[in-house]
């Protein structure tokens, strides 16, 4: 009897945990329109298609808790049309620092171009539009974060998108409709 209960309870518990974790990450959907044409989209020296997967996973995981908190039950969809990542790969340091982005005052601005849709659980559009986030001051804007955090993969891109998300206003008063 004990084996029977374990064989029944453990899969159900595993399914519940998997559902709980996937439900939170599922509230942010990211897509890309021709990432090979993006201005600067090679993360850690990888090709654009592989970089798209890294960007999608990193950014959606980072934005997901804020979307769940600000817009419960809603889904944010971002479709990127161009990305110019923060920093540049310095060709003079490639041998010592392979695929490391150098952030300096002379680096060109971080640029994120995308369209977005925020929809409630019934599919009603709460907010939508196109956005061009261009931040030449990204090196100075987030100095209050610890150095360790600022060296995380795509930190400046994620922080810039979190800052933008704070400005998004839903047009419906009934955000939590299910």
Average pLDDT taken over every residue of the chain: 78
pTM of the complete model: 0.74
Is residue 108 included in any domain, yes or no?
yes
Tokens 């150095």 sit at which residue?
147
Number of domains in the chain: 1
Rounded CA gap, 168 and 131, in Å? Answer: 11
- Residue 65 is part of which domain span? 27-165
Token readout for 53 is 């997967």
Q: Report if residue 144 sits inside a domain.
A: yes
Residue 18 in any domain: the answer is no
Tell me: the pLDDT tens digits for 40-80? 898 887 889 999 999 999 999 999 999 999 999 999 999 99
């Amino acid at each position: 009897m004990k084996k029977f209960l374990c064989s029944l309870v453990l899969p159900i518990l595993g399914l519940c945990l998997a559902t709980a974790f996937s439900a939170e990450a599922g509230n942010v959907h990211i897509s890309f329109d021709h990432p090979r044409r993006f201005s600067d989209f090679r993360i850690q020296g990888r090709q654009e298609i592989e970089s798209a997967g890294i960007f999608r996973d990193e950014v959606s995981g980072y934005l997901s808790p804020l979307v769940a908190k600000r817009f419960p039950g809603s889904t944010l969809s971002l479709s990127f049309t161009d990305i110019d990542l923060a920093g540049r790969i310095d060709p003079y340091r490639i041998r010592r620092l392979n695929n490391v982005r150098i952030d300096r005052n002379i680096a060109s601005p971080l640029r994120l171009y995308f369209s977005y849709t925020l929809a409630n659980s019934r599919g009603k559009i709460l907010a939508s539009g196109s956005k061009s986030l261009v931040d030449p001051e990204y090196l100075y804007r987030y100095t209050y974060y610890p150095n360790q955090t600022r060296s995380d993969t795509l930190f400046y891109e994620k922080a810039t998108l979190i800052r933008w998300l704070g400005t998004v206003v839903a047009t419906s008063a009934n955000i939590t409709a299910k």
